[in-house]
A and B are shown apart, each in its own frame.
Chain A
Amino acid sequence: GENVEQHPSTLSVQEGDSAVIKCTYSDSASNYFPWYKQELGKGPQLIIDIRSNVGEKKDQRIAVTLNKTAKHFSLHITETQPEDSAVYFCAAYSSASKIIFGSGTRLSIRP
C-alpha cells in the first residue's frame, strides 16, 4: 500500500537554531501535504500545509518545501524556541488513498 516515510524520528536542537524534518511519499497522486504538531497530552493540530502546485510556503518561523518530482517534502523551523518542543507529523493526501501520516518526529529544544 501507499506510505509516507518521515525522518528523523527524534531531533534535538539548540534553542535559536533551525530544525528540519523530511518526508517522502509513495502515492504520485498525492496533492495536499499538511504538517501537524502534537503537544503532550493533546491531539495533533495543523500548523502549515502545502498543495502540489506550490513549491514553498512560509508562515513566520515555519516553512514547508515540496519537490513533486522526487516525491518529498520538508518542514523547516527557524529560530527555534522552547514551545516548539513537540511531536511533528507529516501527511500526504490523495482522493484515492485519503490521508496517510508519517510516523512522527519528536523535536526537543535544548536551552
Chain B
Amino acid sequence: NAGVTQTPKFRVLKTGQSMTLLCAQDMNHEYMYWYRQDPGMGLRLIHYSVGEGTTAKGEVPDGYNVSRLKKQNFLLGLESAAPSQTSVYFCATDTLIGTQYFGPGTRLLVL
C-alpha cells in the first residue's frame, strides 16, 4: 500500500520548457489536489478534482493545467515554465471529510 506517490522527485527546467508531474494514489479517494509550497507562503491550492473526469481551479491556477483521466491519477502540466513556478509541488488526496494525505513532493527549479 504505497499511499500517494509523486513523479519525479526533482526536476530542473529551462524557461519555456514544458513538463508533467504525476500523482498516483492507491487509497481509492475521490478527491485529489495539487498544491505549491513556497517559503513563508504555506500551501496554496493550484487545482483539484472531485472525481474521475472532473477538475476545478484553486487559488493559483494560472500557468498550470490538470487532467484526471483515471481515478487513481492526477496530472499537473506546465505548458511553458517560468522562474516564478520554481517551487515544491505536493499532491494530496481527501477522505471527503477533510483529512488529506500528502505525497512526498516534487521539487521544481525553473532557470
Interface residues of A (CB under 8 A from B): 6, 9, 32, 34, 36, 41-46, 49, 89, 91, 93, 98-99, 101-104
Contact = CB atoms under 8 A, between A and B. Distances in A.
B54 to A, nearest CB: 14
Best-buried of A9, A44, A89, A104 by chain B (most CB within 10 Å): A44
Chain A contact residues: helix, strand, loop or mixed: strand
Interface of B: 4, 40-43, 48, 90, 92, 94, 97-105
A32 B98 contact: yes
A99 B98 contact: yes
Contact of B100 (A42, A46, A102, A104): A46
Best-buried of B4, B48, B99, B104 by chain A (most CB within 10 Å): B99
A98 B42 contact: no
Contacts of B105: 41-43
B97 A98 contact: no
Contacts of A44: 43, 90, 100, 102
19 contacts: A9-B40, A32-B97, A34-B98, A36-B100, A43-B102, A43-B103, A44-B43, A44-B102, A45-B102, A46-B99, A46-B101, A49-B98, A91-B98, A91-B100, A93-B98, A101-B43, A102-B42, A103-B41, A104-B42
